[in-house]
Amino acid sequence: MTKTRATITAVGHWVPEERLTNADFEKMVDTTDEWIRTRTGIVERRILRNGATSDLAANAIQETLKNRGISAAEIDLIIVATVTPDMFFPSTACLVQDRIGAKNAWGFDVSAACSGFPFALVTGAQFIETGTCRKVVVVGADKMSSITDYTDRNNCILFGDAGAAVLLEPSADSSAGILDHILHCDGSGERFLNMHGGGSLNPPTHETVDKKMHYIFQDGKAVFKVAVVGMADVSAEIMERNNLAGKDVDWLVPHQANLRIIDATAGRMGLDRSKVMINIDKYGNTTAATIPLCLSEWWQSGKLKKGQTIVMASFGAGWTWGAVLMKWTAEDAR
Ligand code: UT7
């Protein structure tokens, strides 16, 4: 019996209009455009002033449904990857379900920080592969500006807000769609990248606010060292175990945290920069949204085409990291 595979049949994204440029940061903290560009590759990011993560997610899903030509009522399951849910509960998936009128869907959130999209994608794929669902929406959305300390130059220049979604459906071709994945987590990395305030460990108090515990904490150098090896290793591993060389991969779709990490991963995979999706310059690190945001932009511009082989790769807080291999099957953009 041939295996039913899950495949992405549509993609869409939404970003807020407002931009925060490196020049803006020069006025806010002790930094320079030159430092930010050379250390990170970032030039500007989008900021959502009014609204929440559910708005980013709902708009991205609506774009995706439009691109596929289906209504929200056809969705069976909504999975939202985010570390900036609108609230602890109900889940952002519930809020989005109501907002878009997905009256036949159930849903839940996945928390895996910068690896949220691959984790949610692989989770969603299981429901397709087992025949439980026929249409699963996976959305990565984060309003990182809601947990960013804009007086901390180490971190505030890194993050932006965005939402991007994909639709998963069964593939008619068992050699296409999501072909393989390698996912990991290692909680010993918790101390290097976290947000300690607000949860059951440190419920909100005046003290947690005074100590800025509701903002992202990151030891950038320590994270860099582990991320640059972890993302490259897992990408090389998924290629090796599928007998793929650089020439067999059309696109690397990396999490956009730092251009130097992306370059190291591409180098390890034997890929030229021309085969790497990079938009960190325009959006910064949008956490769970980075990978689907790349997919959506590259599909929209006609560069990501049906039949192409892609490797997605991520590394983030947890630690969480992984790679997903897939053959792209969505109809080309018109
Ligand atoms: O997405 C989840 C996973 N996250 C990542 O993968 C992020 C990984 N880490 C990184 O991308 C990089 O470590 C950063 C971009 C966060 C920082 O780059 P770095 O090259 O590791 O810089 P650094 O932290 O070692 O800082 C170097 C210097 C320091 O000054 P001293 O101690 O050498 O005098 C910092 O204080 O740069 C200083 N610095 C800045 N200078 C100007 C830190 N932030 C800034 C800034 N502008 N915004």
| Phi, psi at 168, each rounded to 5° | -100, 135
Atom of ligand 1 lying closest to residue 40 CA? 15
Give me ligand 1 centre to Cα 220, in Å.
6
Ligand 1: centre distance to CA 248 (Å)? 34
Spans in the chain with pLDDT lower than 50: none
pLDDT computed for residue 2 by the predictor? 76
Catalytic residue among 94, 114, 156, 294: 114
The pTM of this model reads 0.97
Cα(31) to ligand 1 centroid in Å equals 11
Residue 138: its pLDDT value, please? 98
Of 154, 191, 285, the one to substitute when testing ligand 1's pocket (max ligand atoms within 8 A of C-beta) is 154
133 in catalytic set: no
Buried b (16+ CB within 10 A) or exposed e, 127-145: bbbeeebebbbbbbbbbbb
> Can you say whether residue 318 is alpha, beta or left, with left for phi > 0 and alpha for psi between -120 and 50 degrees?
left
List beta partners, residue 143: 161
Q: Which residue has the tokens 């459906």?
A: 169
Distance between CA atoms of residues 165 and 333, nearest Å: 16
Name all domains of the chain by residue range, CATH numbers in brackets. 5-174 (3.40.47.10), 178-327 (3.40.47.10)
In this structure, the strands spanning 217-218 and 193-194 are: antiparallel
pLDDT at residue 1, rounded to an integer: 65
Q: Tell me the C-alpha distance between 70 and 167, whole Å.
A: 10
67 is known as an active-site residue:
no
Residue pair 249/278 in contact (Cβ under 8 Å)? The answer is: no
Q: Is 178 helix (H, G, I), strand (E, B) or coil?
A: strand
Per-residue pLDDT, 174: 87
Antiparallel, parallel or unpaired: β 77-81 and 106-110: parallel
Catalytic site includes residue 114: yes
Per-residue tokens: 267: 């180098």
Q: Are 231 and 313 in contact (CB under 8 A)?
A: yes
Residue 79's CB is within 10 A of a number of other CB atoms, namely 25
Tokens 């928390």, located at residue: 111
Burial of 301 (0-12, 13-18, 19+ CB in 10 A): exposed
Which tokens belong to 27? Answer: 């006025």
Centre of ligand 1 to C-alpha 16, Å, is 26
Q: Whose CA is nearest to atom 11 of ligand 1?
A: 258
Contact (Cβ atoms closer than 8 angstroms) between residue 298 and residue 250 = no
* Pairwise CA distance, residues 8 & 301, whole Å: 17
For ligand 1, pick from 39, 142, 231, 265 the residue to mutate: most ligand atoms within 8 Å of CB.
Answer: 39
Q: What is the pLDDT of residue 3?
A: 84
User: Which residues, judged by CB distance below 6 Å to any ligand atom, belong to the binding site of ligand 1?
Assistant: 31, 35, 39-40, 114, 153-154, 157, 220-221, 223-224, 227, 257-258, 261, 285, 315-316
Q: Work out the angle at residue 293's Cα, subtended by the Cα atoms of residues 291 and 294, and round it to the nearest 5 degrees.
A: 65
CB of 187 closer than 8 Å to CB of 251: no
β-strand partners of 8: 168
Q: What is the pLDDT of residue 87?
A: 98
Crossing angle between the packed helical segments 116-129 and 290-300, to the nearest 10 degrees: 70
Three-state SS at 172: coil
Bond prior to 203 in cis (omega within 30° of 0): no
Q: How far is the CA of 157 from the centre of ligand 1 (A)?
A: 10
